[in-house]
């Protein structure tokens, strides 16, 4: 597999900054990154991907009148690349049930909170407002209900009394950049399985595998 030809093909979907995408593209994973696709032409991550030699495409949601139309156009771009895996990395569109079903078990997302706490937006502000002492990020399979899919791995960070949204977001983001490449590697290696009960099984756990990262810093 030295030339990477037999690696699974993945597309990464982004909407903005693309720091998780960059962590994945730089991580030396057993994956062929077939494309990075954004719903926004101004997504900063697009230039980063191109600089790293990865093809990019834009499917502008404003050019598609309905979610169904948008998702069809998006699926066409994904399937054009014969993608095995769909990796959401800060992709800010709610996906239709049909789209989710098409990539079931092959599509994962990273969310900046310890699900099932704080699904949705503004997770860091909500964590601070709630006064939780532990916060973090979650990698999960994508299912029709937003941020509710089976959990693959989580990283937990402490919340400090003097944290701002920015300081807490930065602490979580550093862990996202560790957690997501690890989970994508498992997926690429074919080691992640959804059980009939809707739980996640990780085959052949190696010493470096950590479905929970809990740094003490
Ligand atoms: C990350 O916090 C991710 O967890 C969330 O959106 C943010 C995207 O950041 N889904 P980036 O574009 O990867 O820098």
State the pLDDT at residue 195.
Answer: 84
**pTM beyond 0.85:** yes
The pLDDT of residue 1: 44
Whether residue 124 lies in the annotated active site:
no
Report the chain's mean pLDDT, rounded to a whole number.
95
In this structure, the strands spanning 192-194 and 200-202 are antiparallel
CA pair distance 109, 144, nearest whole angstrom? 12
Closest to 173 (Cα-Cα) out of 131, 135, 137: 137
Q: Is the CB of 16 under 6 A from ligand 1?
A: yes
Contact criterion met (CB below 8 Å) for 20 and 176: yes
pLDDT digits (tens, 9 = 90+) for 47-70: 999 999 999 999 999 999 899 999
Residue 120, phi-psi category: left (phi > 0), alpha (psi -120 to 50), beta (remainder): left
pLDDT of res. 194? 85
Q: Is the peptide bond before 126 cis (omega within 30 degrees of 0)?
A: no
**Phi first, then psi: what are they for 201, rounded to 5°?**
-110, 135
- The pLDDT score that the predictor gives to residue 206 is 79
**Could you tell which of 13, 14, 19 is best to mutate to test the pocket of ligand 1, judged by most ligand atoms within 8 Å of the CB?**
19
- The CA distances from residue 81 to 17, 20, 78, 182, in Å, are 23, 21, 5, 23
Q: Dihedral (C-alpha) 126, 128, 134, 137: value to the nearest 10 degrees?
A: 40
- Which residue stretches of the chain have pLDDT < 50? 1-2, 4
Question: Beta 85-88 vs 134-141: how paired, if at all?
Answer: unpaired
- Ligand 1 touching residue 17 (CB < 6 A): yes
Of the residues 61, 64, 111, 177, only one is catalytic, namely: 111
First to last CA, the chain: 37
Domains and CATH numbers, the chain: 1-103 (3.40.50.170), 110-217 (3.40.50.170)
φ, ψ dihedrals at 167, nearest 5°: -65, -40
- Confidence at residue 217, expressed as pLDDT on a 0 to 100 scale: 65
Which pLDDT value is given to residue 5? Answer: 58
Predicted pLDDT at 85: 98
* Cα-to-centroid distance, 1 and ligand 1 (Å): 31
- For residue range 72-90, what is the model confidence (pLDDT) as tens digits? 999 999 999 999 999 999 9
């Amino acid at each position: 597999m030295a030339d990477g030809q037999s690696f699974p093909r993945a597309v990464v979907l982004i909407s903005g900054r693309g720091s998780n995408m960059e962590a994945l593209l730089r991580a030396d994973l057993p994956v062929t990154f077939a494309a990075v696709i954004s719903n926004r032409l101004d997504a900063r991550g697009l230039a980063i991907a191109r600089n790293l030699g990865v093809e990019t495409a834009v499917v502008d949601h404003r050019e598609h009148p309905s979610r169904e139309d948008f998702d069809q156009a998006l699926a066409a771009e994904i399937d054009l690349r014969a993608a095995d895996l769909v990796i959401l990395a800060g992709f800010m569109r709610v996906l239709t049930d049909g789209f989710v079903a098409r990539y079931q078990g092959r599509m994962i997302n990273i969310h900046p909170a310890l699900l099932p706490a704080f699904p949705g937006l503004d997770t860091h502000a909500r964590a601070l407002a709630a006064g939780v002492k532990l916060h973090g990020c979650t990698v999960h399979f994508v299912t029709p209900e937003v941020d509710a899919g089976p959990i693959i791995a989580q990283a937990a960070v402490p919340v400090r009394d003097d944290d701002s949204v920015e300081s807490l977001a930065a602490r979580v983001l550093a862990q996202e950049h560790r957690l997501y490449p690890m989970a994508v590697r498992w997926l690429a290696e074919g080691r992640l399985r959804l059980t009939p009960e809707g739980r996640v099984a990780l085959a052949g756990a190696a010493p470096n595998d950590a479905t929970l990262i809990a740094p003490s810093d």
